[in-house]
Structure 1
Amino acid sequence: MPQKAFRFGVVAGATEGGAKWRETARRAEELGYSTLLCPDNLNMPSPTAALAAAAAATTELRIGSFVLASPLRTARAAAWEAHSLTVVTDGRFELGLGTGRPEMREQAGELGLPYGSAQERLDAIAETVDHVRRLDGDGHTPVMIAAGGPKVRRLAGAKADIVTLAGGVLVTRKDVAGHVEEIRAAAGDRDVELAMNIWVVGDEVPPWIRGFLGTDAETLIEHDSLGIIRGSTDAMAEELERRRDELGVSYFSVNGAFLEAFAPLVERLSGK
């Protein structure tokens, strides 16, 4: 398939209040980011509310969930929220879906919902996509699925518009290439956009990211991790071009802590 042009997103939560969140959205748009992506977690404002506010504060910036965790709402409720955001933003919403991290078990319980088995959580993603397609009618909400394991990679290839490679920060390039092959095989003739989240820009890992990932910069560098990008702007641009050439990844999201540090790459590569 033809090589896709680069585009970039930033992952952030509305944890510092509405004014700061709207400022982040406007700054992301000003810097040329394609999307502002919001995590799904009961310990922060809901992505639905946060993303609606971000869209209202901007004019062209796309918004997306990164990602709605299937245990935290029923498939029909997730589709309702997604389609609603598509409608009120005039098509600027991208629905990101995932099966949820282990800590979602407790959060699902707070909501009175079952965490479900791995297969049940996977089935919920498929059902959500089907509900969204029905609700959209003649419209189309782009769906992104975060694909970590083989079953979700196959599902993502078959149903998603965008697939984020989510196998872990220490997965080798060779293994990631194999994951891409699985996704492409499941997609068949479908034109799927491949995405990747970059956790760290530079040589230092902020403490909370280190705690979340369970690893430090030295380990990431030693393992040639795809979760980190470092060096000069030229070197980082060459690395992103390598990932597109070798893996087909053209859509990169970056943690909000590096919104400004990553901006030169957005300026240089967006749309190319």
Structure 2
Amino acid sequence: MTKPFRFGVVAPLRTDVPAWLDRARRIADSGYSTLLVPDFPLTQPAPGPMLATVAARTDLRVGTWVYASPLRPAWLTAWEAHSLSLLTGGRFEMGLGTGRPGIEDELRDKGIPGVPPPNGRLAQLRETVERLRELDGPDRHTPVAMAVFGPKARALAAEVADTVTLALGDQPRGEVELLTRDFRTTGNVELALAVPVIGDAVAPYMAPPDTDPAALRAADALTVLPDDPAAAAEEIQRRREEIGFSYFVFGADFAERFAPVVAELAGR
């Protein structure tokens, strides 16, 4: 079953607060569905206050892209997510993952003991979602977007997530089609695609700064789109038709340039 297009923007706070809020209002006015913030402690304010502030000033949905689960106990992440869902009138989406590359060193630097092994991180993801469902109770359902890659993580996401995004790099189109096959078969999960590279520009906090756009294009990777909006719109439609991606996430620096794409495709 084909899901309608929607579009999100990862918007870290890299300016003064008034300029960032002005950008959030422009994103809302351009028809985007969701404003998202990354989980990089101490490089910006905490995700919860940032998202609550945006939700109070716009009609955007808001979400984390994504909580790095090893940084907090499961109950704490669930409590914050439930609180944001309540305070935003159901406009919060909890993005959750096992942590970016190098998270082990970050945990040690912050004095967090006992870096969990991969299986322990998956157990923590499950526990976080279970705690969130307990807090939500029967009358609330906070959507969960899960960033995964390996087979065990994909199986967990198929079981507990509403939205799934693959933690992609330079994997070619054909490989991504295979990785998403099980999700397309069930048809219950929204497939999201984070696109950190537009043309030759790389979005901060969405991909490493040494990302090579030319190499991604040569590999036919799905983490890059052309910077021409018309060509991008055509490719976005192809990716839904062939693979099932319906939720596309860009960096904030591209939001205004791709506003015509959003105007053409959102909700279709």
**What TM-score does the superposition give when structure 1 sets the normalisation length?**
0.91
1:11 maps to a residue whose letter is: V
2:229 maps to a residue whose letter is: T
After superposition, what is the alpha-carbon deviation per residue over 1:120-164, rounded to whole angstroms, capped at 9, x for unaligned? 111111111111111111100000001122111111111100001
Identity rate of aligned residues, in percent?
A: 45
Contact 2:206-2:251 within 8 A present in 1 as well: no
3-state DSSP of counterpart to 1:226: coil
Contact 1:91-1:141 within 8 A present in 2 as well: yes
User: Once the 2 structures are TM-superposed, how far is the Cα of residue 206 of structure 1 from its aligned partner?
Assistant: 4.4
Alignment of 1:1-272 (within 5 A): 2-42=1-41, 43-58=43-58, 60-109=59-108, 110=110, 112-137=112-137, 138-168=139-169, 170-184=170-184, 188=186, 191-202=188-199, 204-206=200-202, 212=208, 214-230=210-226, 232-272=228-268
3-state DSSP of counterpart to 1:33: coil
Contact 1:201-1:262 within 8 A present in 2 as well: no
1:260 maps to a residue whose letter is: E
Contact 2:197-2:203 within 8 A present in 1 as well: no
3-state DSSP of counterpart to 2:178: helix
3-state DSSP of counterpart to 1:5: coil
Larger displacement relative to structure 2 (114-123 or 100-109): 100-109
After superposition, what is the alpha-carbon deviation per residue over 1:17-56, rounded to whole angstroms, capped at 9, x for unaligned? 3212211221110010000010001122211111111111
3-state DSSP of counterpart to 1:10: strand
User: Once the 2 structures are TM-superposed, how far is the Cα of residue 214 of structure 1 from its aligned partner?
Assistant: 3.5
Contact 1:205-1:216 within 8 A present in 2 as well: no
User: Once the 2 structures are TM-superposed, how far is the Cα of residue 12 of structure 1 from its aligned partner?
Assistant: 1.4
1:261 maps to a residue whose letter is: R
After superposition, what is the alpha-carbon deviation per residue over 1:2-24, rounded to whole angstroms, capped at 9, x for unaligned? 21110000001123232122112
CA distance 1:101–1:209, change in 2 (3 Å): closer
CA distance 1:46–1:28, change in 2 (3 Å): same
CA distance 1:13–1:111, change in 2 (3 Å): farther
CA distance 1:210–1:8, change in 2 (3 Å): closer
Contact 1:31-1:263 within 8 A present in 2 as well: yes
CA distance 1:211–1:254, change in 2 (3 Å): closer
CA distance in 1, matches of 2:63, 2:204: 23
Where in structure 1 are there 5+ consecutive unaligned residues? none
Deviating above 6 A after TM superposition, structure 1's stretches of 4 or more consecutive aligned residues are: none
3-state DSSP of counterpart to 1:115: coil
CA distance 1:213–1:179, change in 2 (3 Å): farther
Computed over aligned residues only, the root mean square deviation of the Cα atoms, in angstroms, reads 1.9
CA distance 1:207–1:200, change in 2 (3 Å): closer
After superposition, what is the alpha-carbon deviation per residue over 1:140-193, rounded to whole angstroms, capped at 9, x for unaligned? 00000011221111111111000012232x1111111111113346xx4x6110
CA distance in 1, matches of 2:153, 2:35: 24
CA distance in 2, matches of 1:165, 1:48: 24
CA distance 1:208–1:266, change in 2 (3 Å): closer
CA distance in 1, matches of 2:71, 2:208: 20
User: Once the 2 structures are TM-superposed, how far is the Cα of residue 209 of structure 1 from its aligned partner?
Assistant: 7.3
After superposition, what is the alpha-carbon deviation per residue over 1:195-221, rounded to whole angstroms, capped at 9, x for unaligned? 00111222x224967971643221122
